[in-house]
Amino acid sequence: MTETAPRIPPPARPPEQEPLPSSVKAREPGPLRQAVAQRIRTLQDDYQRDSSQAVQALALLRRGIGRQATETPELWGLVGMEQFYAAQPENHRPYEAEILRAERAAHVAVTLWALHQQSNRAKRMHVADGASLGTAVRRLMSGSDSDEPIRKRLLRAGTATSFDVLGQRLRELVVLLRTAEIPLDYGLLAEQLDRWQKPGGPILVRQAWGRSFHAYRPPADPGRQQDDAPELPESDALANHTKDQT
């Protein structure tokens, strides 16, 4: 009787790669980010052309720094809320809480941009390319002992205990960025300020700033304009430094 050769099983089929969860996919800019970016882009273009109307608008916006959005009717039409409503998906009517968050976030972001852009018509201090606060602050640092106060200012902003305190600490950083002519994506900042006001938001925003701070690398070509490190998924990069807060 002839022996039958043992049957060799076919090679195991590699498991199919599962799609990335939505939480780590690149997010499309939301209505608030689009609205603030559009509003600032228009003002910025006009300001660089030395439009008297834009110069007056920036002066008004700077006077709104540190004030509540509901206390500044003179800024109606200047912070991008019309664009926010226009950018809403069809059949979506924002809730009152959503509108209030957006108003506060847009107010802080656009007024800080006006401070950042002040007296600078040669360069754009808003860039819609994902230049996160952590990236911008890292650019300020020269690799010397003088970097520590700058790092601590970012930590102080990341560990702010109220939205008003956060706005004050962001203003301190923006003054430094203005002096160094380092731009920021204010649409992204507005989106993060909106997120900050949601449950668990402060931790997520702090993590995003910490991740972009650590991920930044200077360009290899010193003659090339610095590029922004892309915003990466949130991590606990800054959360581990809370104890360093001053």
Q: Which two tokens stand for residue 150?
A: 């700058």
Does residue 7 belong to any structural domain of this protein?
Answer: no
Of 124, 116, 106, the residue nearest 31 (C-alpha): 106
In degrees, rounded to 5, the angle at the alpha carbon of residue 244 between the alpha carbons of residues 191 and 68 is: 35
Number of domains comprising the chain = 1
Residue indicated by tokens 């230049």: 131
pLDDT of residue 61 exceeding 50, the answer is: yes
pLDDT of residue 39 exceeding 70, the answer is: yes
State pTM to two decimals: 0.78
Per-residue pLDDT reduced to its tens digit, 121-157: 999 999 998 889 999 999 999 888 889 999 999 999 9
Does residue 137 belong to any structural domain of this protein?
Answer: yes
CB atoms within 10 A of CB 40: 30
Does residue 126 belong to any structural domain of this protein?
Answer: yes
CA-based R_g, the chain, Å:
23
Judge whether 157 and 244 are in contact, CB under 8 Å.
no
What is the DSSP secondary structure assignment for residue 165, as one 8-state letter? H
pLDDT of residue 84 exceeding 80, the answer is: yes
Task: Give the max Cα distance, the chain.
Answer: 103
Helix pair 133-140, 201-215: axis angle to 10 deg: 40
Of 123, 128, 119, the residue nearest 186 (C-alpha): 128
Per-residue pLDDT reduced to its tens digit, 90-116: 888 889 999 999 999 999 999 999 999
In order of 19, 43, 110, 200, the CA distances from 57 in angstroms are 47, 8, 11, 34
Q: What is the predicted pLDDT for the residue at 2?
A: 55
Domain coverage including residue 76: 27-219+226-244
Q: Which two tokens stand for residue 105?
A: 């976030």
Please, is 73 exposed, middle or buried when counting C-beta atoms within 10 Å of its C-beta (0-12, 13-18, 19+)? exposed
Cα(204)–Cα(198) distance, rounded to whole angstroms? 10
CATH number for position 144: 1.10.520.40
Does residue 16 belong to any structural domain of this protein?
Answer: no
Per-residue pLDDT reduced to its tens digit, 192-229: 999 999 999 999 999 999 999 999 888 775 554 444 44
Residues 6+ apart with CB under 8 A from 100: none
Phi (first) and psi of residue 197, to 5 degrees: -80, -5
Confidence of residue 25 (pLDDT cuts 50, 70, 90): very low
Does residue 2 belong to any structural domain of this protein?
Answer: no
Q: What is the predicted pLDDT for the residue at 6?
A: 55
Does residue 78 belong to any structural domain of this protein?
Answer: yes
Average pLDDT, the chain: 84
Average pLDDT over residues 8-21: 47
Regarding predicted confidence, which is higher, 50 or 20?
A: 50
Regarding predicted confidence, which is higher, 28 or 71?
A: 71
Does residue 8 belong to any structural domain of this protein?
Answer: no
Does residue 237 belong to any structural domain of this protein?
Answer: yes
pLDDT of residue 70 exceeding 80, the answer is: yes
Q: What is the predicted pLDDT for the residue at 151?
A: 94
